[in-house]
């Protein structure tokens, strides 16, 4: 004898039991035929409706004659379920569910309706939880949007030198355009701050500002980071679409820092986005259109990279629409005092330490230093001084103690090398040049290895080679 259970019987009993449980739990139950005429209606439902006639008289009548606001006809005509709905009866709001009925071959033969609750306020706990989740989602989206707003404005670009006034003039003009901006300058000159400022002063200020450092992302991940990944594009990929930085910046500004380090294969895809404002995610054939403004920045010599075919000429021309060059700190020494004061104020605020001030001698020492790391290095030195002393007045000795040892003591106007009459800045440059050339020689001209040997980033190595006049094909000679 077969022990296989009778699944059809079990299914029929389950349907019958479910129907009976629903009928017992609900405050009303109604069944209509394919013409939306009442085939059966429960006494409790008639009582809820305030129907005063004979229950038998309701059978065969159009459902709207008994329930004026009923949507049962819509369910019969559309064949669509209305799982949870609200219906007003007199001065009450009831919660209802409406389901289509089909025979064995799937033909629509009617609909069934359940009045689940006679008062909608019974759903209040569920609705309160839903509303709370919605509020949390809205708050999270607002916080995320705030994170993607510009953090700085052009007013935070400190400096009254002629070169900085020209930079801010060009930035304000660029902010009112929608053209691509290319920010040039050594590392630490404030290119990212200026990008934030341009966005904040532009018509796109209320839209996202999304920044990405091209040099900081491994080459094999950069494409997916910029353009996103389609579901299942490769083994281990998310099952949901992962948006890239271009989609996140839609409507706003995308800041591409260290654009000179972008691999050649991706440069062609970036060019298409700049020209057509469209791209395809990794593993997708669907074209995504975006409306955004691109601001790019680099500390490398793009002209030289184009000549050496390490950077596409057509992409360079597309990026170099509104170029702005930020001057190094050593070329605007008159701004150092005001920048240093601002940095000390910020350090006092973030560390809850007492405010500090610089003596004239301390400022003179700062102005006499070469600042190869520009404003970023200046902040580092002032933070080191603040950590080394509790004094609120910082003197020349405080600054000298925090500067690199090679800088030595400052003189009245320029530092002199030991045993010679050359300015120490020239001696430092010669020493730095020799160190870079030596590293390139030891690594066979492989710049990535030379940078690692010197303990600096590849971008910093390119920048110092450019500043010191070292050709990029150098392997031991200058």
Say whether both 358 and 234 belong to one domain.
Answer: no
pLDDT at residue 238 tops 70: no
Per-residue model confidence (pLDDT) at position 233? 66
CA 106, CA 94: separation in Å to the nearest integer? Answer: 30
Say whether both 159 and 274 belong to one domain.
Answer: yes
Say whether both 176 and 83 belong to one domain.
Answer: no
Average pLDDT, integer, range 387-397 = 89
pLDDT tens track for 33-44? 999 999 988 888
Residue 140 falls inside a structural domain: no
The percentage of residues in the chain with a pLDDT greater than 90, rounded to a whole number, is 41
Residue 147 falls inside a structural domain: no
Say whether both 352 and 457 belong to one domain.
Answer: no
Of 88, 78, 93, 76, give the one whose Cα is nearest residue 127: 93
CA 170, CA 192: separation in Å to the nearest integer? Answer: 15
Helix 336-351 with 360-368: angle, nearest 10 deg: 110
* Number of domains observed in the structure of the chain: 4
Residue 385 falls inside a structural domain: yes
Per-residue model confidence (pLDDT) at position 327? 94
Residue 127 falls inside a structural domain: no
Say whether both 282 and 392 belong to one domain.
Answer: no
Residue 80 falls inside a structural domain: yes
Give 9 or 81, the one with higher predicted confidence.
Answer: 81
Say whether both 236 and 369 belong to one domain.
Answer: no
Domain with 207 in it: what CATH number?
Answer: 3.40.50.300
Domain with 17 in it: what CATH number?
Answer: 3.30.450.20
CA 350, CA 125: separation in Å to the nearest integer? Answer: 44
Per-residue model confidence (pLDDT) at position 234? 65
Residue 403 falls inside a structural domain: yes
CA angle 397, 399, 403 (to 5 degrees): 120
Domain with 367 in it: what CATH number?
Answer: 1.10.8.60
Average pLDDT, integer, range 465-478 = 62
Of 327, 357, 378, the residue that ends a domain is 327
Query: Which domain covers residue 343, as residue numbers?
Result: 330-407
Average confidence score pLDDT of the chain: 82
pLDDT tens track for 250-268? 999 999 999 999 999 899 9
Say whether both 186 and 285 belong to one domain.
Answer: yes
* Cβ contact 295:195 at 8 Å: yes
Helix 264-276 with 219-227: angle, nearest 10 deg: 10
Total residue count of the chain as it appears in this document: 478
Per-residue model confidence (pLDDT) at position 474? 44
CA angle 203, 206, 210 (to 5 degrees): 100
Say whether both 285 and 352 belong to one domain.
Answer: no
Instruction: Tell me how crowded residue 88 is: count the other CB atoms within 10 A of its CB.
Output: 11
Residue 250 falls inside a structural domain: yes
The percentage of residues in the chain with a pLDDT greater than 70, rounded to a whole number, is 82
Of 327, 354, 381, the residue that ends a domain is 327
Residue 42 falls inside a structural domain: yes
Of 286, 310, 327, the residue that ends a domain is 327
Token digits for 238? 């998310």
pLDDT tens track for 302-314? 999 999 999 999 9
CA 445, CA 476: separation in Å to the nearest integer? Answer: 8
Bridge partner list, 210: 254
Say whether both 20 and 54 belong to one domain.
Answer: yes
Domain with 457 in it: what CATH number?
Answer: 1.10.10
Give the CA-trace dihedral at 150, 153, 158, 160, to 10 degrees: 140
pLDDT at residue 378 tops 90: yes
pLDDT at residue 9 tops 80: no
pLDDT tens track for 267-301? 999 999 999 999 988 888 889 999 999 999 999 99
Average pLDDT, integer, range 359-388 = 91
Burial of residue 447 (number of CB atoms within 10 Å: 0-12, 13-18, 19+): middle
Per-residue model confidence (pLDDT) at position 239? 67
Task: Write out the DSSP string of 256-324.
Answer: EETGGG--HHHHHHHHHHHHHSEEE-BT---EEE---EEEEEESS-HHHHHHTTSS-HHHHHHHTTEEE
Say whether both 370 and 393 belong to one domain.
Answer: yes
Say whether both 316 and 370 belong to one domain.
Answer: no
Average pLDDT, integer, range 102-112 = 89
Name the residue with tokens 């170099």.
320
pLDDT tens track for 116-167? 766 555 566 655 666 677 667 666 655 655 555 667 788 888 888 999 999 9
pLDDT tens track for 160-209? 899 999 999 999 999 999 999 999 999 999 999 999 999 999 999 989 99
Per-residue model confidence (pLDDT) at position 208? 92
Say whether both 20 and 85 belong to one domain.
Answer: yes
Of 390, 386, 339, 392, give the one whose Cα is nearest residue 367: 339
């Amino acid at each position: 004898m077969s022990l296989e259970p009778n699944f059809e019987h079990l299914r029929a009993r389950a349907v019958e039991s479910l129907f009976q449980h629903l009928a017992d739990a609900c405050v009303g139950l109604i069944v209509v035929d394919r013409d939306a005429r009442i085939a059966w209606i429960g006494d409790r439902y008639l009582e809820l409706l305030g129907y005063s006639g004979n229950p038998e008289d309701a059978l065969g009548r159009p459902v709207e004659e008994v329930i004026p606001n009923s949507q049962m006809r819509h369910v019969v005509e559309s064949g669509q379920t209305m799982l949870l709905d609200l219906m007003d009866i007199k001065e009450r709001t009831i919660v209802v569910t409406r389901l289509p009925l089909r025979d064995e071959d799937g033909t629509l033969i009617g609909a069934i309706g359940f009045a689940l609750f006679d008062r909608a306020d019974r759903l209040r706990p569920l609705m309160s939880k839903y509303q709370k989740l919605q509020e949390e989602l809205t708050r999270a989206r607002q916080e995320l949007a705030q994170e993607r707003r510009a953090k700085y404005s052009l007013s935070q670009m400190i400096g009254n030198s002629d070169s900085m006034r020209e930079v801010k003039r060009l930035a304000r003009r660029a902010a009112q355009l929608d053209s691509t901006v290319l920010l040039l300058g050594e590392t630490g000159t404030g290119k990212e701050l200026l990008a934030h400022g341009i966005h904040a002063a532009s018509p796109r200020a209320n839209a996202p500002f999304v920044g990405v450092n091209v040099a900081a992302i491994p080459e094999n991940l950069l494409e997916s980071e910029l353009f996103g990944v389609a579901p299942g594009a490769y083994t281990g990929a998310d099952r949901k679409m992962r948006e890239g930085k271009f989609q996140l910046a839609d409507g706003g500004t995308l800041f591409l820092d260290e654009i000179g380090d972008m691999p050649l294969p991706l440069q062609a895809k970036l060019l298409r986005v700049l020209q057509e404002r469209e791209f395809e995610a990794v593993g997708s054939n669907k074209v995504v259109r975006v409306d955004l403004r691109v601001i790019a920045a680099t500390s490398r010599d793009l002209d030289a990279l184009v000549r050496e075919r390490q950077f596409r000429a057509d992409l360079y021309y597309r990026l170099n629409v509104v170029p702005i060059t930020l001057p190094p700190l050593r070329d605007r020494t008159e701004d150092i005092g005001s920048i240093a004061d601002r940095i000390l104020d910020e350090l006092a605020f973030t560390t809850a330490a007492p405010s500090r001030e610089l003596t004239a001698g301390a400022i003179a020492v700062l102005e006499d230093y070469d600042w190869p790391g520009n404003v970023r290095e200046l902040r580092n030195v002032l933070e080191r001084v603040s950590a080394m002393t509790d004094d609120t007045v910082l003197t020349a000795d405080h600054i000298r103690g925090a500067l690199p040892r090679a800088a030595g003591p400052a003189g009245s106007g320029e530092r002199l090398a030991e045993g010679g009459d050359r300015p120490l800045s020239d001696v430092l440059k010669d020493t730095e040049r020799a160190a870079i050339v030596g590293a390139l020689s030891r690594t066979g001209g492989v710049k990535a290895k030379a940078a690692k040997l010197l303990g600096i980033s590849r971008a910093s190595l390119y920048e110092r080679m450019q500043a010191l006049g070292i050709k990029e094909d150098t392997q031991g000679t200058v």
